[in-house]
Structure 1
Amino acid sequence: MQTVRHSEQTLRTALISKNPVLVSQYEKFNAAERRLMNEAFQPASDLFGPITLHSQSDWITSHPEPPQDFEEFFNAPSRKTPSPEKRSIYIQCIGLLGNTRIISEEYIKWLKGYCEAFFYGLTVRLLEPVPVSATRCSFRVNDSTQKLQIHAGHILKFLKRKKPEDAFCVVGITMIDLYPRDSWNFVFGQASLSDGVGIFSFARYGSDFYNSSYESKGKALQKKSSNDYSVFDNYYVPEVTSILLLRSCKTLTHEIGHIFGLRHCQWLACLMQGSNHLEEADRRPLNLCPICLRKLQCAIGFNIVERYKALVRWIDDESTEAPRVTPKHSHEDSVNLPKPVEAFKEWKEWIMKCLAVVQK
């Protein structure tokens, strides 16, 4: 295992900058906010630690990229910032997210609420869910998994056409696996920063995605016409669990972060780290390091403390109105049970530590 550790001065410069204008901007944070942000370059901090690499297949090793400090983010000519007229994030559901319509509707509401807290200060809206057929995208059966895949690039074109006037971005979410071109095996997601659209699949985050139980169905699908979207009717979706919800929230916020212009983080353990595989994605925390937090705050203008409190409220809001996850592949209505937030326990504890530092 390798540790990516930067000097205190390097991290200080990456966060605050040496540009007098950006230093002056940083000093406009109140003392409590600066105390939290300054944890970035405190060697003994238990809030923001260094990045650990576990193998040569990890993202930083296999995808060398120049690091992006705050000054580079601020000066990036392609960076997009929400305007008073375009301050809405739209979420477009493609196909069902749960094994019943009710679960699917609740699941997307949970994701909406999380995004509203994470991107505090922006409005998050839901577009009417659509079936795969509405996108007119190409699809195929993956040779390795024998599961259906839809073409990510075609979905992006569909989302661009549907983008509302007040949208900062539109993100599509689906439980169907994605591929970007015929020569690729799969992708977790794909985005167009210039168009402000993205599509992300949570299919491979289900605990039984790689089971062989659907191989026979996949082989049968190969005989269908390439225009027969009925193959997606009642198609398999993973069981909705707390882990699946956590992974979905993590992916959604990471990828929307890219649309804001945040590149992969190479400074500290951070949500914006790249990931090559599920194990690495699971190691990635839910939180932004102070450098990436300052980037997002600069783009949106939220109060840091109020944002953390909103995230805690989302975790604590285990509404009894939410339906219970029914047994796999059931299409019956479900009984009421709380939102599955067990996997967010460590995330909440971490936020409470941050609030304790701020409120000293």
Structure 2
Amino acid sequence: MCASANKKFSPPTNRQRAKALGDTNQLNDDIRRAVTVGIHKCFLRFPEPKEGDWVTINEEQGQTVQEFEQTERTVVHSTHKIIYLQPIGSFDHSRTPSLDIICEFYRPFFPGCELEILPQIDFIDFSKHAQAEKRINRYTQQPQYLTSFIINHRKKMRRQRQNNNNQELFCIGVTMADIYPEHNWNFVYGEASIDDGIGIYSFARLDPSFPNTATAGPCTDDERILILKRAVGVFVHEVIHLFNIEHCIYYLCLMNGSETEEEMDGHPLYLCPVCLRKMYSALGKETKHFNTIQMYTAILDLCKIFHFKEESSWYEHRLSLLNAEEDKKL
């Protein structure tokens, strides 16, 4: 994305991981089991990074549960909470990931929140100033759009929906166009304005045929699964950022940072105990919708339907441990 000098990074110790999770004694039984039972059997520690990995280029200090709760974005007071998703540009190519399927995966990760797809808009609908910030990437020779102008456009459109402001959590734009955040950056997968609850995310580079996607043939089964898995992971990861949850450095986790598609593919489609507890804090304490067993079961069903084999195995194993622990109580 953007080159800079390598920084020394050491994966956290067991003590640091325990501190990041915090005291679990006062949690309800569901979330307490989810973040304490069989952790070493299911969650891999954050590995020693290779040169060029995210943490060697971008400084990550880690965010503990306590730190998150001190800066938590308040999102749970409305009983009817909506996240708006708006496609920008064309999604008609045969290799494009299905937004409907992405929405199916979204729902169990964000219990108590609805996701509504807004009508598609085109880049020609943007201001002339935004059009002026379109550029041709010197490496791919493909057009790119500046993220800040897309976010500003989303702010203007939000103001036109003032009657929904009391229930709208976030407004997220997704596009198959390539995007960049600053003129000295090569590209970015996405960018968000957390204070405004607005983000823009690109699926362009998730296709292994990029930058020749337009002329590539139909997806093979393996390509279709890979593109969809990447799109689901990127979308869920970026929405979680809008809750003010930072990148994870404690375990291999959906919230790890990614510098390349290869690094992205090494990250799992589940949250580690630290990040899961943060989501519980953001969504579960007041809404009462947060139930880990139900969440995992719903995600497992989707992983089976769409042939995410490794993810299916993980969720099956995790559920077996949690259900066995529940049975001990009975």
Fold in common (TM above 0.5): yes
The Cα shift of 1:98 comes to 3.8
The Cα shift of 1:71 comes to 0.6
Trace 1:6-45 onto structure 2 (pairs within 5 A): 6-7=13-14, 9-17=15-23, 23=24, 26-30=25-29, 33-39=31-37, 42=39, 45=40
- What is the rounded CA distance, in whole Å, between the counterparts of 1:149 and 1:90 in structure 2? 23
3-state SS of the aligned residue for 1:4? coil
Answer whether contact 2:34 2:292 (CA < 8 A) is retained. Answer: no
The Cα shift of 1:292 comes to 0.3
Q: Stretches of 4+ moved more than 6 A in 1?
A: none
1:307 equivalent in alignment to 2:295: yes
Trace 1:1-360 onto structure 2 (pairs within 5 A): 4-7=11-14, 9-17=15-23, 23=24, 26-30=25-29, 33-39=31-37, 42=39, 45-76=40-71, 79-84=73-78, 87-99=81-93, 107-136=98-127, 137-138=130-131, 139-163=134-158, 164-165=164-165, 166-211=167-212, 239=219, 241-301=224-284, 302-316=290-304, 318=305, 341-342=306-307, 344-360=308-324
- What is the rounded CA distance, in whole Å, between the counterparts of 1:154 and 1:312 in structure 2? 38
What is the aligned length? 298
Larger radius of gyration: 1
Match of 1:221 in 2: none
The Cα shift of 1:122 comes to 1.0
Residue 193 to residue 122, structure 1, CA distance change in 2 (3 Å): same
The Cα shift of 1:67 comes to 1.4
Residue 27 to residue 194, structure 1, CA distance change in 2 (3 Å): same
3-state SS of the aligned residue for 1:268? coil
Answer whether contact 2:31 2:280 (CA < 8 A) is retained. Answer: no
The Cα shift of 1:158 comes to 1.4
3-state SS of the aligned residue for 2:85? strand
3-state SS of the aligned residue for 1:241? helix
The Cα shift of 1:54 comes to 4.0
Q: Deviations over 1:209-239 (max 9, x none)?
A: 145987xxxxxxxxxxxxxxxxxxxxx9995
3-state SS of the aligned residue for 1:286? coil
Partner AA of 1:28 in structure 2:
L
- What is the rounded CA distance, in whole Å, between the counterparts of 2:48 and 2:189 in structure 1? 21
- What is the rounded CA distance, in whole Å, between the counterparts of 2:176 and 2:247 in structure 1? 24
- What is the rounded CA distance, in whole Å, between the counterparts of 2:174 and 2:214 in structure 1? 24
Answer whether contact 1:99 1:238 (CA < 8 A) is retained. Answer: no
Partner AA of 1:82 in structure 2:
V
Q: Unaligned 5+ residue runs, structure 2?
A: 1-8, 159-163, 285-289, 325-330
Taking every aligned residue pair, what percent have the same amino acid on both sides?
30
Residue 213 to residue 94, structure 1, CA distance change in 2 (3 Å): closer
- What is the rounded CA distance, in whole Å, between the counterparts of 1:256 and 1:66 in structure 2? 21
The Cα shift of 1:161 comes to 2.1
The Cα shift of 1:11 comes to 2.3
Q: Deviations over 1:13-53 (max 9, x none)?
A: 32124xxxxx5xx53321x542331147x5xx231111123
Q: Unaligned 5+ residue runs, structure 1?
A: 18-22, 215-235, 319-340
The Cα shift of 1:284 comes to 1.2
- What is the rounded CA distance, in whole Å, between the counterparts of 1:238 and 1:176 in structure 2? 19
The Cα shift of 1:111 comes to 1.1
The Cα shift of 1:201 comes to 0.5
The Cα shift of 1:167 comes to 1.3
Residue 117 to residue 212, structure 1, CA distance change in 2 (3 Å): closer
- What is the rounded CA distance, in whole Å, between the counterparts of 1:162 and 1:85 in structure 2? 23
The Cα shift of 1:345 comes to 1.5
- What is the rounded CA distance, in whole Å, between the counterparts of 1:178 and 1:274 in structure 2? 18
Compute the TM-score of the two structures, normalised by the length of structure 1: 0.76
Answer whether contact 1:208 1:238 (CA < 8 A) is retained. Answer: no
Partner AA of 1:52 in structure 2:
P
Compute the TM-score of the two structures, normalised by the length of structure 2: 0.82
Match of 1:231 in 2: none
Residue 56 to residue 311, structure 1, CA distance change in 2 (3 Å): same
The Cα shift of 1:198 comes to 0.5
The Cα shift of 1:241 comes to 1.2
3-state SS of the aligned residue for 1:249? helix
Residue 213 to residue 359, structure 1, CA distance change in 2 (3 Å): closer
Match of 2:327 in 1: none
The Cα shift of 1:184 comes to 2.2
Residue 39 to residue 62, structure 1, CA distance change in 2 (3 Å): farther
Partner AA of 2:278 in structure 1:
K
Q: What's the Cα RMSD here? A: 2.5
The Cα shift of 1:131 comes to 1.6
